[in-house]
Amino acid sequence: MRLLSSWIREFVDIPADDRQLAADLTMAGVAVDSVAVEQGQAVLEADVTTNRPDAMNHYGVAREASAIYDRDLKPYRASPVESARPALGVASVEIADPDLCARYSARVILGVKVGPSPEWMVKRLEAAGTRSINNVADVTNYLLLELGHPLHAFDLDLLAGRRIIVRRGRAGERMATLDGVVRELTAQNLVIADGERPVAIAGVMGGLDSGIRDQTTNVLLESAWFEPRSIRGTARRFGMHTDASHRFERGADLGITAAGADRAAELIREVAGGEVLCGLIDVFPAPRPRPALLLRQTELERILGERVPPERVEQILRRLGFRLAADGAGQWMVEPPSFRLDVEREIDVIEEVARLFGYQRFPTRLPQWSGVARRAPHWHAERALRETARALGYSQTISFTLIAPRQAEPFSLTDPVRLANPLSEEASVMRPSIVPGLLNAVEWNLNRGTRAVRLFEIGKVYAGASGRYEEPSILGLAATGPVQEGPLHAAPRDMDFFDLKGDVEAVLDLFQCGRLYFDANAGADYYHPGRAARAAMDGETVARFGQLHPRMAAERKWRQPVLIAELYLDRLFCHGLRRPKYEPVSRVPAVDRDFSLVVPDAVAWERIESAVGRLGIQELAAVHPVEILRGGPVAAGSYGLLLRTVFQRPGQTLSDTEVNEWSARLIAALQELGIALRA
């Protein structure tokens, strides 16, 4: 909102320059962003919060200034020069729906001459950011800027029967508004009608064929008060937002309609000539008294933490237009003014006192406290994940959780959560998977010449519908390109499946787990069918990972394989972080036995490992695959495997006989899998 310093100063004597005024208004709640001098005028650019329609005009801001500087505010009054002819004999006003229109004040001016406004008015309007139209319309705009009350001027001769009836719209009624759009009316909309038809949508916009024209000579000026809720509903239904609706839906001043009409009539006579008929037409069927509020000094202190002297309390509130009655014992009955619909409770009055006393005058303190502070439930586990991922070389990324449906589609079996009013197709569904965001980030980096990419993200994915939504947490990893920088010190090598698997193992190793196993059932077709795995802890899937399907990589024109992993944190966190447990380190060296085996291709390592495990040999401390050979001396259909076993018994040496016996059992178990010792 643009405020002219000179206009404000017409209503109050301000003992400060414009820059100081701007600073003081800001600290009282009218945020002034800038002060500029334009064509000799000081213009304040201010933001007024939505709860303060009373301050969205020059007189309202002058009232704030009067409270800030404790100076008198000029009363807003006008007594237009009237002719002898009574207005009521020329036009009539009736409010049919007083629940939606509490007051309708009107003035009738006959014999005006519509034309350009005088220069002073044009200048003032333009400085405040409003374009001049004609002298009559300009007066209503002038009133809006000065007083904040929206007025409407009708061409009296276009009102059938010279009547105004404020009523609800009727089904089937239509009218063209000033913007040229034809509106279908319903009983939801309050309208201004004449003797025959609606001529304006009350509080929002006037009609196309009842407004001021160049040839208009007789004017009916409307200055009314409409129910905010109704105006808001109508404006929204029609998708309209006007200066008038903006004020009315935030609550206009029921008490100012008469003064507003008088002032406007006077101005019209001044700038457009004509005869102001005698008497204000003021239909005010239902006065709305505002209940007085109790304000307690004790409550002021309880909320604000500091005593505000009672004489300051009274001074502030009186300057703001409140009426007060003190009981002498630290309590007041406070009657809020008609323009302060936002003040309804004691706490609202306390805010008025606080903001004009000055927030800066309250000291800073730290509250007393006893109790305990808890971190979020999985904070430790999440931190462990983040730190491990970082140690493994992955940088943390955060990607948009809103993505395009085509990006979501390959990664979800069910419909993703869709937005009803997305900004764009590109951000219209909630991500069902952590993968698309990671792939976007990989792409971003590859396209910018970063070949070695290792990223992790911890975030939610979204699923569900109609009130039953789930937001499970996922750890996603993405890796591609060289394992280490090279080739200065070491030959470069790209990340492969087993690099990623090692990283996944390192992460899973943070958690307690009875039995962890891996198999090839990744169960998602965006993975390479032969290079993806699933990890299960105690029988429950906790991770999937592997190489992105080459088809998907090719679609993105990637020339290097990309590896991804998804870890399901809600399941993983059920296991709890592993706690270190100490076991004595044996002083007796372990015994290694190597077996050179020929294994059929169909036998995966996992089967060998479990077969060996099932033997139940306590002293078998470890089984490692040391080397795998294919081709050469090894016949097709099988592979050579060098298997290393480590036997150990804490504190005791092992005899050859024992180790030989275990080796024999081991070989027998392997033979059952079709595995042979190499000749």
Partner 1 sequence: MKVEEQVRQTLEGLGVGDEAGVAGLFDGLRTQIERELAGLASADAGEQFRIRWLGRKQGLLTAANDNWLKPAPPALKRAVGRLLNEVKRQAEQSLEARRRELDAGSETARLAVQRLDVTLPGLRRPIGARHPVQIVIDEVQEIFLSMGYSVEEGPEIESDYYNFEALNMPREHPARDTQATLYVAGDYLLRTHTSPVQIRTMEKMQPPLRVIAPGRVYRRDNPDATHSFMFHQVEGFAVDTNITFCDLKGTLDYFFKRFYGEQVQTRFRPSFFPFTEPSAEVDISCIFCSGAGCRKCKQSGWIELFGAGMIDPALYGFVKYDERKYSGFAFGGGIDRLAMLRYGIEDIQLLFQGDLRFLQQFR
77 binds partner 1 (CB under 8 A): no
Q: Which residues contact 239 (CB under 8 A, 6 or more apart)?
A: none
Report, in Å, the least distance between residue 264 CB and partner 1: 26
Pairing of strands 82-86, 275-278: parallel
C-alpha distances out from residue 370 to 128, 303, 373, Å: 54, 20, 10
Other Cβ atoms within 10 Å of 30 Cβ, number: 25
The piece of 107-115, 280-288, 482-490, 614-622 that touches partner 1 (CB under 8 A) is: 482-490
What's the token pair of residue 293? Answer: 């509020």
Considering only residues 225 through 284, tell me which ones interact with partner 1, judged by CB under 8 A: 229, 232-233, 236, 249-250
Report, in Å, the least distance between residue 30 CB and partner 1: 9
Separation between Cα atoms, residue 322 and residue 566, nearest integer Å = 63
Report, in Å, the least distance between residue 504 CB and partner 1: 15
618 binds partner 1 (CB under 8 A): no
Q: What is the CA radius of gyration of the chain?
A: 40
Instruction: Assess contact for 138 and 255: CB atoms under 8 A.
Output: no
Strand intervals (E) in 300-393: 323-326, 331-335
Report, in Å, the least distance between residue 443 CB and partner 1: 9
Report, in Å, the least distance between residue 489 CB and partner 1: 4
What's the token pair of residue 168? Answer: 């609800």
Rule CB under 8 A: choose which of 135, 141, 177, 397 binds partner 1: 397
391 binds partner 1 (CB under 8 A): yes
Report, in Å, the least distance between residue 410 CB and partner 1: 19
585 binds partner 1 (CB under 8 A): no
Report, in Å, the least distance between residue 434 CB and partner 1: 12
Separation between Cα atoms, residue 628 and residue 233, nearest integer Å = 75
Instruction: Assess contact for 101 and 226: CB atoms under 8 A.
Output: yes
In our burial notation (b when 16+ CB lie closer than 10 A, e otherwise), range 433-450 reads bbbbbbbbbbeebbeeee
Instruction: Assess contact for 202 and 192: CB atoms under 8 A.
Output: yes
Separation between Cα atoms, residue 571 and residue 542, nearest integer Å = 6
> Closest Cα partner for 202 from 128, 151, 162?
151
> Closest Cα partner for 103 from 19, 227, 228?
227
The piece of 49-57, 264-272, 323-331, 670-678 that touches partner 1 (CB under 8 A) is: 49-57
305 binds partner 1 (CB under 8 A): yes
633 binds partner 1 (CB under 8 A): no
When the beta carbons of 402 and 608 are compared against partner 1, the nearer one is 402
202 binds partner 1 (CB under 8 A): no
What's the token pair of residue 340? Answer: 């302060």
Separation between Cα atoms, residue 329 and residue 250, nearest integer Å = 36
Separation between Cα atoms, residue 86 and residue 88, nearest integer Å = 5
When the beta carbons of 43 and 641 are compared against partner 1, the nearer one is 43
Report, in Å, the least distance between residue 299 CB and partner 1: 9
Rule CB under 8 A: choose which of 77, 131, 489, 559 binds partner 1: 489
Considering only residues 321 through 380, tell me which ones interact with partner 1, judged by CB under 8 A: 345, 347-348, 350-351, 354-355, 359-360, 362-376, 379
The amino acid occupying position 227 is E
What's the token pair of residue 124? Answer: 């003032």
307 binds partner 1 (CB under 8 A): no
Other Cβ atoms within 10 Å of 258 Cβ, number: 19
What are residue 176's DSSP bridge partners? 182
3-state secondary structure 541-568: EEEEEEEECHHHHHHCCCCCCEEEEEEE
19 binds partner 1 (CB under 8 A): no
Considering only residues 448 through 477, tell me which ones interact with partner 1, judged by CB under 8 A: 448, 450, 452-456, 460, 462, 464-467, 469, 471
When the beta carbons of 261 and 458 are compared against partner 1, the nearer one is 458
Number of amino acids touching partner 1 (CB under 8 A): 97
Separation between Cα atoms, residue 502 and residue 447, nearest integer Å = 27
The piece of 396-404, 570-578, 650-658, 669-677 that touches partner 1 (CB under 8 A) is: 396-404
When the beta carbons of 429 and 666 are compared against partner 1, the nearer one is 429
99 binds partner 1 (CB under 8 A): no
> Closest Cα partner for 561 from 569, 573, 570, 553?
553
Rule CB under 8 A: choose which of 143, 191, 221, 441 binds partner 1: 441
When the beta carbons of 471 and 609 are compared against partner 1, the nearer one is 471
The amino acid occupying position 435 is V
When the beta carbons of 414 and 421 are compared against partner 1, the nearer one is 421
Report, in Å, the least distance between residue 390 CB and partner 1: 4
Instruction: Assess contact for 516 and 536: CB atoms under 8 A.
Output: yes
When the beta carbons of 201 and 537 are compared against partner 1, the nearer one is 201
What's the token pair of residue 607? Answer: 């089967």
What's the token pair of residue 601? Answer: 């291709």
Rule CB under 8 A: choose which of 1, 16, 31, 654 binds partner 1: 31
Q: What are phi and psi of 413, to 5 degrees?
A: -85, -25
Report, in Å, the least distance between residue 490 CB and partner 1: 7
When the beta carbons of 219 and 316 are compared against partner 1, the nearer one is 316
Q: What are phi and psi of 55, to 5 degrees?
A: -100, 10
Considering only residues 402 through 431, tell me which ones interact with partner 1, judged by CB under 8 A: 402, 417-423, 427, 430
What's the token pair of residue 244? Answer: 């008038």
Report, in Å, the least distance between residue 199 CB and partner 1: 26
Report, in Å, the least distance between residue 213 CB and partner 1: 34
The piece of 211-219, 302-310, 320-328, 510-518 that touches partner 1 (CB under 8 A) is: 302-310
The piece of 382-390, 586-594, 595-603, 651-659 that touches partner 1 (CB under 8 A) is: 382-390
Report, in Å, the least distance between residue 215 CB and partner 1: 39
Report, in Å, the least distance between residue 459 CB and partner 1: 8
Report, in Å, the least distance between residue 497 CB and partner 1: 19
Rule CB under 8 A: choose which of 1, 9, 26, 282 binds partner 1: 26
